[in-house]
Structure 1
Amino acid sequence: MSIIAHIWSAGVYIVPFIFVLSLVVFFHELGHFLVGRWCGVKIDAFSLGFGPEIFAFVDRYGTRWRLAVLPLGGYVKFHGDANGASVTDREAAAAMPEHERAVSFFAQKVWKRAAIVAAGPAANFVLAIVIFTCIFYFNGRAVLSPVVDKVAAGSVAEGAGFQPGDRIVAIDGDKIASFEDMQRIVQASSDVALTFEVERQDKLIELVATPHRREIKTPFGTTRVGVLGVEAGAKPENWRTQRFGLIDSVKRAGSETWFVVARTGSYVGGLVMGRESTDQLSGPIRIAEVSGEMAKIGLAALLNLAAILSISVGILNLMPIPLLDGGHLFYYAVEAVQGKAMHEKAQEFGFKLGLTLVASLMIFATYNDIVRLTRQLLHLG
């Protein structure tokens, strides 16, 4: 393979990866930036990426907008901060004249600091809703009818009495409009008895089934979900395109965002309880792979991935780990309750601990990526 072919092959994955990650990071930092400006805080820098600058300019408010070499994150540096993690520069703060202190981040009331910090994750959820809204509004939704075509031998569905031709109308009283609706409920309900309302030969009957927990492969690794044991018919007449108006698109986008939040929360809880596998934790290598594959499908698929990653970034940043936004919010909650900030040394220890935890998570996720990639290469060989 020629050098040009290698560069092209790498670009197929790198360019979509940079696009997706930059979009998610930009909106996260934009949330901090906009609320910071609204609160009257001076912003020294807005950086997309880390390391040496590729391009930069200073706006009329004195903010340096910079594009950096390493596109693996970004930051907003508020006046008085020692770095982009909103750690106060104590020496500089002590020497500041009063007019500069007034526009510094550390000098703001606790509710303002909390609002500025919370705005980053909030912007990630807003971005996801906007993307999902656009996808539903412009593309609609491909809907597969919830009609059973095949029942796997020896499956939970067979034991519960499902038959080919059954149309699933409701599960535990919730109406089912598509096969995907049914799958989502079943996958999230392993080892939980579900009551299915089924239409069979123009009659409604009730069937009770408990989805069996099973490992399945996803683009990000292996996960454990509930499985019923039914398949839908892929005949053209079973498919339809559902169109949405703007209001319905927004509602659907909100539901989709909440579904991803709930599924992610369930996965994190499963990790803590030992029910989920850690191999689904992915780092930049795997995200780049999936970004490239989604780009091959089309822009809508790539934007859908960006929305899911944006939600994941929002959830991760809300975790009460020092260094992340959730850690800052925890500190501010303590400050609000006790009427004064936590001791300086306690905060410094927390940030060091948070840095260790975040770095360990990144190393482990990257290790997972390398192991997965090595297995793929060995399999191809």
Structure 2
Amino acid sequence: MSGFLYYLAAFALVLGILVVVHEFGHYLAARWAGVKVLRFSVGFGRPLWARRFGQDGTEWAIAAFPLGGYVKMLDEREGEVPAEELHRSFNRQSVLRRMVIVVAGPAANFLLAIVLYWGLFWNGTEEFKPLLGAPAVESAAASAGLEDGELVLKVAGESVQTWQEMRWFLLQRAVEQNQIELEVINPQHEIAVRRLDVLAVRQSGWEGEALDRLGLTLYRPRLPPVLGQVNANSAAADAGLRPGDEVLSIDATPIGSWADVVQHVRKSPGKAIHLEVLRDGVRVESTVTPAAVEERGRQIGRIGAAVAADGRLPAELMVTVSYGPLSALNKAVIETWDKSAFTLLMIGKMITGEVSWRNISGPVTIADYAGRSARLGVDYYLKFLALVSISLGVLNLLPIPILDGGHLLYYLVEIIKRGPVSERTMEIGQQIGLALLLMLMAFAFYNDINRLFSG
């Protein structure tokens, strides 16, 4: 399968699961409340496939426009209802029953995330240890004194076992704190406390990957400076370099690892460098001019060659994390709650301008992440699915007319004023909600396109 089709399939599966789960939540709640369901649709627009099932003859359909779905219920506001079925009409239900039906969709998304996390935590996942690589020059990590090979034990007093756990605690603390204490242990088994300045993350509006901005990188083991792959039509290929070549020196400077090769190449965009390589026991000299590539506002060099590696990760870089069934369930609930609260907090800060709107992702970016996570393995893909499910649940609960949260807002007003919201008010609300949703989608698509062209 080509890369594009693979990413498209990974995205389609995520989208299909989330839409079905969300709408099935509405469907089950409607059935519980005794409301007749006329149609269950995955997607909008003209049905590509439709069948009727069940005692009520509910139509189950897959429609042409796949970004969403809906459950159509019997409702006097949308057509004439036979007298014998009035009691099964949505609008005839008590306000509390209507609220349950509406909230059931987002609740199903949160429940899916809990189930996925529970299974992952119970089964056990193999993840990267929070081992730090050499920090970027002049970064916050370098200023804090963090060094290559240090293992993070605690973040702001919270013990961490994995790289993702460390990242999550840092993000949570960086929302309000300017400095975060990291307790680390170095390869010589010496424990130290480093104070990491995270103010730059907030000042940037949380644009980009926060750990990259701080200079925190995952530890990379020292690899021999041997070429494994040379891309066609690359600077390395033009210079005659071949897979299996061992780089001995660059510009007369001895090379000890692949990291040394990368360092020399990156700092020489468009500038010829002289290599001495060992090929089949014979020393060969070559001159290569790294291509100039834009990266985060500055130019770096690339020659189009990758290191020779067998693809296996050293055992000392990994840790297997697992829990008993009850502990796993407890952690799954906490994980879902924390990520929901953090998502809501970031949305609030986006509204106040503290977080950049460039962080909004559209379908292209989500598809990209879906494909990447799928390539990394089932565990990563399921974690991605859980995270997007949480985001969908939170988004739908926002008090925006046209979303589930908007309907809940109408029902709260109905409880307070002891009467339904007028049709005119709901009509105006729908127009405002649609405008906000279209604006949000426009931002998302703009950001997707911008990422495609700027990298």
User: For residues 130-189 of structure 1, what are the alpha-carbon distances to aligned partners after superposition, in whole Å with 9 as ceiling and x for unaligned?
Assistant: 122223333524240x45564555444555555667654434433333444333222333
**What secondary structure is seen at the aligned counterpart in 1 of 2:88?**
coil
Residue of structure 2 equivalent to 1:70:
65
The alignment-based identity, stated in percent, is 35
Residue of structure 2 equivalent to 1:181:
165
Residue of structure 1 equivalent to 2:33:
39
Give the Cα–Cα distance (whole angstroms) in 2 for the partners of residues 172 and 221 of structure 1.
23
Mapping for residues 234-313 of structure 1, pairs under 5 Å: 234=220, 236=314, 237-313=316-392
**What secondary structure is seen at the aligned counterpart in 2 of 1:275?**
coil
Mapping for residues 1-381 of structure 1, pairs under 5 Å: 8=2, 10-58=4-52, 59-80=54-75, 88-89=77-78, 92=79, 96-144=81-129, 146=130, 150=134, 154-157=138-141, 159-160=143-144, 168-190=152-174, 191-197=177-183, 207-214=194-201, 222=208, 229=215, 231=217, 233-234=219-220, 236=314, 237-375=316-454
CA gap 1:33/1:295 in 2 versus in 1, 3 angstroms:
same
Please, which moves more after superposition, 152-161 or 300-309?
A: 152-161
CA gap 1:259/1:371 in 2 versus in 1, 3 angstroms:
same
User: For residues 111-131 of structure 1, what are the alpha-carbon distances to aligned partners after superposition, in whole Å with 9 as ceiling and x for unaligned?
Assistant: 000010000000011111112
Bigger radius of gyration among the two: 2
TM-score, structure 2 as length reference: 0.69
Give the Cα–Cα distance (whole angstroms) in 2 for the partners of residues 254 and 370 of structure 1.
35
Shift of residue 109, structure 1, vs aligned partner: 0.3
Give the Cα–Cα distance (whole angstroms) in 2 for the partners of residues 295 and 206 of structure 1.
36
Residue type of the alignment partner of 1:177: Q
Point out where structure 1 has 5 or more consecutive residues left out of the alignment.
Answer: 82-87, 377-381
CA gap 1:79/1:365 in 2 versus in 1, 3 angstroms:
same
Shift of residue 372, structure 1, vs aligned partner: 2.7
Shift of residue 62, structure 1, vs aligned partner: 2.3
Please, which moves more after superposition, 249-258 or 22-31?
A: 249-258
Contact 1:186 1:228 in 2 (8 A): no
Point out where structure 2 has 5 or more consecutive residues left out of the alignment.
Answer: 222-313
**What secondary structure is seen at the aligned counterpart in 2 of 1:56?**
strand
Indicate the structure whose relative CO is greater, using CA pairs within 8 Å and at least 6 residues apart: 1
Residue type of the alignment partner of 2:55: R
Contact 1:188 1:226 in 2 (8 A): no
Give the Cα–Cα distance (whole angstroms) in 2 for the partners of residues 103 and 330 of structure 1.
23
CA gap 1:141/1:161 in 2 versus in 1, 3 angstroms:
same
Give the Cα–Cα distance (whole angstroms) in 2 for the partners of residues 243 and 189 of structure 1.
25
RMSD: 3.1
CA gap 1:22/1:80 in 2 versus in 1, 3 angstroms:
same
- Structure with bigger helix share is 1
**What secondary structure is seen at the aligned counterpart in 2 of 1:50?**
strand
Give the Cα–Cα distance (whole angstroms) in 2 for the partners of residues 211 and 307 of structure 1.
27
Give the Cα–Cα distance (whole angstroms) in 1 for the partners of residues 147 and 367 of structure 2.
42
TM-score, structure 1 as length reference: 0.82
**What secondary structure is seen at the aligned counterpart in 1 of 2:64?**
strand
**What secondary structure is seen at the aligned counterpart in 2 of 1:340?**
coil
